[in-house]
C-alpha cells in the first residue's frame, strides 16, 4: 500500500434533526450529573422567643439568625 492510497475515516454527516436530538440527550445526561442543591435559607424568620423578626447573619464558618430585639440567636447546622 502506498502513501498516496491511504484514506481518511471521516464520520458520516449527520442530519440536522439527529444533531438536535444528540444535543438534547447530552444536556439531559449533564443535568443528571449535577450536584444536588442545598435548600435556600430565608433572609428573615420569626423569633421563637419574642415573635419579632430575626435576620440571617453570617461569619466565616457559620450562619445564624439573630434577633435585635431580644438578642436571641439560632445557629444553622
Cell (9 digits) for 34 = 449535577
pLDDT for the residue 9: 65
d(CA 16, CA 75): 54
Angstrom CA distances, 21 to 26, 28, 33, 62, stand at 9, 11, 19, 45
- Sites in the chain below the pLDDT cut of 50: none
Q: Would the pTM of this model clear 0.75, i.e. be above it?
A: no
Cell (9 digits) for 55 = 435576620
Question: Whose grid coordinates read 430575626?
Answer: 54
Amino acid at each position: 500500500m502506498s502513501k498516496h492510497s491511504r484514506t481518511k475515516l471521516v464520520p458520516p454527516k449527520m442530519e440536522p434533526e439527529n444533531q438536535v436530538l444528540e444535543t438534547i440527550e447530552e444536556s439531559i445526561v449533564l443535568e443528571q450529573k449535577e450536584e444536588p442543591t442545598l435548600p435556600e435559607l430565608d433572609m428573615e424568620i420569626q423569633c421563637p422567643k419574642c415573635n419579632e423578626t430575626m435576620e440571617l447573619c453570617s461569619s466565616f464558618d457559620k450562619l445564624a439568625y439573630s434577633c435585635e430585639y431580644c438578642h436571641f440567636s439560632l445557629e444553622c447546622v
